[in-house]
Homo-oligomer: A and B are copies of this chain.
Amino acid sequence: MTTSSYAVLALLNLRPWTGYELTQQAQRSLRYAWPKSERLLYSEPKKLVELGYATTHKEKSGNRSRNVYEITTEGREALGEWTRSRTQPPRIEIEVLLRLLFADHGSTKDLRRALDELEADIREHHDAIIELMASYLDGGHPFPERTHLSVLFATFQIEVFKTIERWIEFARHEIDDWPTTQDLRITPRTEALTRLLADDRHP
């Protein structure tokens, strides 16, 4: 049982889902905490069935069938064990920052473009989650009694996205002052901010 297995099990604990519905739900909300491929979301429930944590049956809509998955009592027990287990450390992959680290191999233009692309991605996520929250505040949550969880979760995402957007602005101003990507050693703006951030931590 991987974390992804538990994620699917936790969804099945709410109601029965078809494979396709699981992929859609993963895309709509899970992805902000646990981004996984569509492919995996089709595989996981099958594994749960093998382990006895879910049952499956085919449902027909016309000439086409789909697999419906339901949690079992053992599945609910397994979920309880997960809740009590140790958590995993967070993992943050930002390719654009990798490019920044090695930006002296390219031009300032390349670096600016990379930042613009990061900004577009973050903005997209930010907009999507703001919209989702707006619908939740209007009472549109699919499980109204669970709204408090989704909303607390969303405040995390929104605060992080805002921070990233602010940093991109800062970084853009900084880079605009660079004549080239190379040989600058340290610059006044980054030195000032770094000292501020460090003092803030160990005054």
Note all chain B residues with C-beta closer than 8 A to A86.
117
Task: Report if A118 contacts B (CB, 8 A).
Answer: yes
A121 touches B159 (CB 8 A): no
Task: Tell me the bound Cα distance from A106 to B78 in angstroms.
Answer: 12
B33 touches A98 (CB 8 A): yes
Cβ contact of A171, chosen from B93, B98, B107, B152, cutoff 8 A? B152
Cβ contact of A104, chosen from B106, B146, B162, B197, cutoff 8 A? B146
Complex: chain B residue closest to A103, CB-CB: B149
Task: Report if A7 contacts B (CB, 8 A).
Answer: yes
Which residues between 107 and 146 of chain A lie within 8 Å of chain B, taking CB atoms? 107, 110, 114, 117-118, 121-122, 126-127, 130, 133-134, 136-137, 144-146
Known contacts A83-B110, A137-B186: A156-B90 contact under CB 8 Å:
no
Which of A15-23, A46-54, A61-69, A187-195 interfaces with chain B? A187-195
Note all chain B residues with C-beta closer than 8 A to A90.
92-96, 118, 121-122
Determine how many copies of this chain the complex contains. 2
Task: Tell me the bound Cα distance from A55 to B88 in angstroms.
Answer: 37
Complex: chain B residue closest to A154, CB-CB: B194
Other A-B pairs beyond A83-B107, A86-B117, A87-B96, 9, CB < 8 Å? A80-B105, A84-B110, A90-B121, A102-B149, A137-B194, A148-B184, A151-B190, A152-B174, A158-B197
B-contacting residues of A (Cβ < 8 Å)?
A: 3, 6-7, 10, 13, 29-30, 32-35, 79-80, 83-84, 86-107, 110, 114, 117-118, 121-122, 126-127, 130, 133-134, 136-137, 144-156, 158-160, 162-164, 166-167, 170-171, 174, 178, 181-187, 190-191, 193-195, 197-198, 200-202
